[in-house]
Amino acid sequence: MARAALEPWVHGLVNSILYTALYHGGGLPLDGDALVRKYALALQVDPISDRSLPEQVAGLRAAALCDTPLVDAFPPYPGQRPFAESEFRDFLVRLADEVAAQAPWPQARPPRPSSHRPPPAPRSWLRRLRRR
């Protein structure tokens, strides 16, 4: 029997984790406990999703159990070892376990907006400063 498809926000959460692991983490193996703790802390203090942490934990667990391939979303850099599907799913389970174990969670900052407003031009900033 096929499992239910992932909700779009869960796909976004999982793809963000995969992207970070591949491109910012250098594709290093996902087997270290320190790496799991680092990602668990990041989910708490610099959230990717606007969902609550219990919802994110449930989403990570659902993703680990789904039939949809997860590691095919982004290709690794040339010469970089791709993650095995089982390796990434195991990482998601360990990440969910770690986040759940750290409850109660600190108050997280709201997620960053998808588009940032550019900083003011230096001249306009100086004019505003002079007016004060």
- pLDDT greater at residue 28 or residue 112: 28
The predicted structure's pLDDT at residue 111: 61
Rounded CA separation 73/111 (Å) = 22
Using the Cα atoms of residue 26, residue 27, residue 33 and residue 39 in order, give the sign of their dihedral.
Answer: positive
pTM: 0.77
In angstroms, the first-to-last Cα distance of the chain is 68
Q: Which DSSP state fits 30?
A: S
The predicted structure's pLDDT at residue 106: 65
